[in-house]
Amino acid sequence: MIRGVHHINFLVRDLEEAIARHERLLGVRIERIDELAGRGVRIARFRAGPTWIALVQPVADGEPMRHLERHGEGFFLISYDVDDVERAATTARAAGARTTSAAPRTGLDGWQVIDIDPADAGGVIIQFCEDKAAGSRA
CB of 138 to a copy of itself, least distance (A): 10
| Residues 65, 85: Cα–Cα separation, whole Å | 25
The number of residues in the chain equals: 138
62 in contact with a copy of itself (CB under 8 A): no
10 in contact with a copy of itself (CB under 8 A): yes
CB of 24 to a copy of itself, least distance (A): 4
Number of residues that bind a copy of itself (CB under 8 A): 40
Report the residue from 33, 36, 40, 51 that binds a copy of itself according to the rule CB under 8 A: 51
Residue 120 DSSP one-character state: G
CB 107 within 8 A of CB 82: no
Phi and psi at residue 119, in whole multiples of 5°? -65, -20
Q: From 43, 44, 37, select the one nearest 60 (Cα to Cα).
A: 37
| Residues 96, 18: Cα–Cα separation, whole Å | 37
Nearest to a copy of itself of 35, 73 (CB atom): 73
Interface region with a copy of itself, contact rule CB under 8 A, candidates 31-39, 60-68, 92-100, 106-114: 92-100
| Residues 136, 91: Cα–Cα separation, whole Å | 23
49 in contact with a copy of itself (CB under 8 A): yes
Positions touching a copy of itself (CB under 8 A) are 1-5, 8, 10, 12, 18, 21, 24-28, 48-51, 53, 72-75, 78, 80-81, 88, 91-92, 95-97, 116, 120-124, 126
